């Protein structure tokens, strides 16, 4: 899937969210402080729309927190980060010579 496909899918999802709330394009545009054409462009997933306008539309729909999911899960980035971490090398402790210890056990005889 290309970036364009992802934008179009996101736009369709935003449109469905607007329709579920029974809001018109004009109502969303007015509340978001933008034009109806911009809202339609958001819903089409056009790459020319700024992320700020998308955020404003999401805020009107009560979905602004969805922006927090962008790049939240970044397995490739974490893998790259881990590769650059310094490797910790533990020094080998010298082996101690085993010394046999004489153990004396005292026993008490009870009559």
pTM: 0.70
Half-sphere exposure of 94 (CA within 13 A, CB side): 2
Q: Does position 111 have pLDDT exceeding 80, yes or no?
A: no
| Low-confidence winner among 8-17, 39-48, 73-82 (lowest mean pLDDT) | 73-82
Tokens of 5: 């496909």
13-57 confidence digits (pLDDT tens): 999 999 999 999 999 999 999 999 999 999 999 999 999 999 999
What is the third-level CATH fold of 3-63? Answer: 434 Repressor (Amino-terminal Domain) (1.10.260)
């Amino acid at each position: 899937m290309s970036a364009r496909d992802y934008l179009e899918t996101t736009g369709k999802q935003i449109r469905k969210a607007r329709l579920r709330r029974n809001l018109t394009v004009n109502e969303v545009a007015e509340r978001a402080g933008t034009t109806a054409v911009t809202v339609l462009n958001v819903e089409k997933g056009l790459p020319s729309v700024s992320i700020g306008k998308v955020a404003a539309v999401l805020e009107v729909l009560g979905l602004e927190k969805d922006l927090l999911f962008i790049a939240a899960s970044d397995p490739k980035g974490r893998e790259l980060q881990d590769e650059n971490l310094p490797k910790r090398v533990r020094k080998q402790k010298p082996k101690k010579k085993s010394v046999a210890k004489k153990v004396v056990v005292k026993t008490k005889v009870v009559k």
